[in-house]
Amino acid sequence: MSIVNADTLREWRHEFHRQPETAFEEHHTSARIVGILDAAGISRATGLGGGTGVVAWVDGRHGGDRAIGLRADIDALDVSEANAFAHASQRPGKMHACGHDGHTTMLLGAACALAESPDFAGRVYFIFQPAEENEGGGRVMVEEGLFERFPMESVYGVHNWPGMALGEAAVHDSAVMAAFDVFTVKLTGSGCHAAMPHLGKDVVLAACQLVNQLQGIVSRETPAHQTAVMSVTQFHAGDAFNVMPETVELCGTVRCFDGELRDYLEARFCQAIAATADFHGLEASIDYQSRYPATLNTPAEAQRCAEVLKAMPGIQQVHRELPPSMASEDFAFMLQQRPGAYIWLGNGTDSAALHNPAYDFNDALAPIGVAYWIALVKTLLSNR
């Protein structure tokens, strides 16, 4: 009897969910992945992606020299779980709030099923990638030589999607997720008594004006047919009711899809900071970091994924015109190196949102995800 069934998938997923680990610290998770692969007799390599990444592979029984890659992210988030069910996080302050426990489970299920019945021609690589959340584990794996060490012609990814019904999927021809930059701005003036603001240089006033001015770069300088979001998410200043602080710190993100627009927004952002600081007589320091590029599917590979999904009994609808998400995904680094596609699978209309402390991956999705991976492999690596 096959070990890949709904009960086993649920058991694996709940175990991963109870033991969440964040970026580059996924040692328990990595070890459990290896244990399942070894029990199934699947070849694998460890110590990748900063130490916790795993790549496994299965060869088809029909020979062939083609190869494709399937990727799952394995890390969790620094979120305190609000759920009280039996498989809730046992690690305070950490939680699988994005469904990577489910993504890992689906890829493990597909690897085991394909190892049991390798009815395809060529090789499949199963990429278990650490540190997707903010730290760029996908970039690290690429820089370490992922595609040189494990040659593959194309690479594919999946993300569960709350709000989309179970049994539905979405495939984009190009843009799926936005590029992701972060910034920290520090303004320094001179503090003074709050009753005598004329004796100081007011960093709070300048920072408040700056928050508003930055929004104008998006609303008035970004072409209407392009999309961008600039969000100030942190504002740190002051310690007392009656003291004008000497420094203020602003942090946030900038997101868009177009590379030229991304460069323009960064340049204008820095100009706005410098101009505001100069007007108020302040000093400014800027730490602006480009994190993830936009996640861009290649049309031919996206079309093949859509065709596979439409032919699956468990899929009732495949959305082809949904707008891309302004969230970001480091699978983008892999798609910069190889053709491929990143799709969404519905997690249910009553699911809590991603990164929400009440979120949970829908166990009913795991068998659908496994079936998708198997169907994709047998379609792309057909022995005909």
- Are 209 and 249 found together in one domain? yes
169 and 249 co-located in one domain: no
- Tally the domains of the chain: 2
Distance CA 49, CA 267 (A): 32
Same domain for 149 and 84:
yes
1 is a domain residue: no
What CATH code is carried by the domain that includes residue 223? 3.30.70.360
Domain boundary among 259, 292, 325: 292
- 114 with 148, same domain: the answer is yes
Q: Is residue 201 part of a domain?
A: yes
- Known catalytic membership, residue 321: no
How far is 170 from 42, CA to CA, in rounded Å?
A: 31
**In a shared domain, residues 309 and 286:** no
Same domain, 133 and 39: yes
237 and 162 within one domain: no
Residues 225 and 324 in one domain: no
pLDDT in tens, the chain (384 residues): 467 899 999 999 999 999 999 999 999 999 999 999 999 999 999 999 999 999 999 999 999 999 999 999 999 999 999 999 999 999 999 999 999 999 999 999 999 999 999 999 999 999 999 999 989 999 999 999 999 999 999 999 999 999 999 999 999 999 999 999 999 999 999 999 999 999 999 999 999 999 999 999 999 999 999 999 999 999 999 999 999 999 999 999 999 999 999 999 999 999 999 999 999 999 999 999 999 999 999 999 999 999 999 999 999 999 999 999 999 999 999 999 999 999 999 999 999 999 999 999 999 999 999 999 999 999 999 966
Counting runs of H as helices and runs of E as strands, what totals does the chain give? 10, 16
Nearest partner of 170 among 314, 316, 345, 325, judged by Cα: 345
Q: Where are the beta strands (DSSP E) in 226-350?
A: 228-237, 243-244, 247-256, 283-292, 295-296, 317-319, 340-348
Q: Of residues 73, 81, 132, 133, which has the active-site annotation?
A: 132
**Whole-prediction pTM:** 0.94
Which distant-in-sequence residues (6+ apart) come within 8 Å of 2 by Cβ? 112, 113, 116
| Residue 248 belongs to domain spanning | 179-292
Residue 94 lies in a domain: yes
Domain boundary among 292, 327, 358: 292
β-strand partners of 32:
none
- Do 67 and 155 belong to one domain? yes
List the CATH number of the domain containing 318: 3.40.630.10
Together in a domain, 226 and 91: no
139 and 187 share one domain: no
Residues 249 and 280 in one domain: yes
Which 3 state secondary structure label does DSSP give 220? helix
User: Catalytic: 119?
Assistant: no
Q: How far apart are CA 139 and CA 132, in angstroms?
A: 9
Which of 268, 292, 316 is a domain's end point?
Answer: 292
Say which of 75, 101, 202, 258 is annotated catalytic. 75
